[in-house]
Every structure is written in C-alpha cells, then in structure tokens.
Amino acid sequence: MNYIFYFLIVISIIAGAINGKLTDVVNAILSGAELSVKVAFSLIGIMAFWLGMMKIAEKSGVIEIIAKIIKPVTKRLFNEIPEDSPAIGDIAMNFSANAIGLANAATPIGLKAMEELQKLNKDKKSASNAMCMLLAMNTAGFQLIPATVIAVLIGIGYKNPTEIIAPTLLVTSITFLSAVTLSKIFEKFWEPQKEND
C-alpha cells in the first residue's frame, strides 16, 4: 500500500510540474496534511469516548446482559458453540462495537472471539462454520450509529453529519442479512471435518 501511495504522489508531482501546476500540487499536499490532522483529532475524541463506554460495559456486566439478550440469535447462528463458551461474550462485544461504528475497536475483540472459536474448532487447519459466520458478520459490518464516519465528517466541517445514519443503517442491514444468509446456506455444503479425518 505504501508503494501505491508513493507512486500516486510522485505521479502527481510530475504531472503538476509538466502542466505548470506544481504550486497547486504542493498546496493540495499541505492542505490535505492539515485536514488529516484535524480529522485524526476529531477521531481521537469519539474513539476514546466509545472505547471507554465499551470498557465500562464490559466491567459492569452489561456485555454479559447483551450476550444473554442476543443468546437466542447467537444460538441459531453459532449452533456449534457451547452455550457457556466465552466466545459468545466476545461475539456480543464485537457485534456491539460494530453496531456503534467502531470498526477499530471491534477488530481486537473479533480477533479474541476468533481465538476462542479456534479452541473449539475440530479441524485446526481450516475455519469452522462459526468462524466463517463471524467473519461474514464482520465483513458486512452492520451499523446502527456510524460513529467513526460521523467523526470524520465533523472533522472536515460537514454541516449535517448525522444525515448518513439512515442510509448507513439501510445498507448495512441489507449486507448483514445477506452475509448471514449466504453463510448459513454455504455451511450446509461444507460440513466441518474432524481432526482425525
């Protein structure tokens, strides 16, 4: 990725020099750098807030309550996981972090959930149905509140950043339901194998 960005910057500078627009290219680079710092600072505030809320929820037992509330759903989606598995709580936290638009916070939680699912996996060389389902859910990225995107829009000075909530909810709901449905369909074709097979 670094090479791609380096290539784009070099090509921009060369094209700017050829067309006599090098000053515009330099100004665009400097203003872009300034804007990226502003956006980063706006992200720090909202990420710190939501990550703190997630930590409070975890410590106060709210995550366990969420895990119990969504237990009927997780039981159907992840039917090969034992009910007392810590993976259920990790999946609940991961889903919650994604739902409030914290993809950065959801990633380490999702990795922890995958580690727990790997412990339960009979075939250690390939992903289990539960692991594929979790990956599908994360890839779809259902969001109730796209907090990170709202923070970026605030950072760039957008006048009404919350107007993206409804379209984001609609699109992520469709992708989430599609991912879950396809994962459930495909798991019927690929049965998990035992380690000895």
The predicted structure's pLDDT at residue 35: 80
- Residue-wise pLDDT for 29-81, tens only, equals 888 888 888 777 777 777 777 778 777 877 888 767 776 787 778 778 888 88
Q: What is the pLDDT of residue 178?
A: 93
pTM: predicted TM-score of the whole model, two decimal places:
0.65
Buried b or exposed e, range 109-134, using 16+ CB within 10 angstroms: bbebbbebbeeebeeeeebbbbbbbb
pLDDT at 181: 92
- Angle (CA) 40 42 47, round 5°: 90
Q: Given this model, what pLDDT does residue 192 score?
A: 55
CB-CB contact of 148 with 42 (8 Å): no
Q: Write the DSSP assignment of 162-179 as a string of letters.
A: GGGHHHHHHHHHHHHHHH
Q: Domain coordinates of the chain in residue numbers?
A: 38-187
CA distance 131 to 127: 6
How far is the C-alpha of 54 from the C-alpha of 32, rounded, in Å? 32
Residues of the chain with pLDDT under 70: 63, 67, 103, 191-197
Distances (CA, A) of 185 to 39, 77, 182: 41, 12, 5
Where on the phi/psi map is residue 191: left (φ > 0), alpha (ψ -120 to 50), or beta? beta
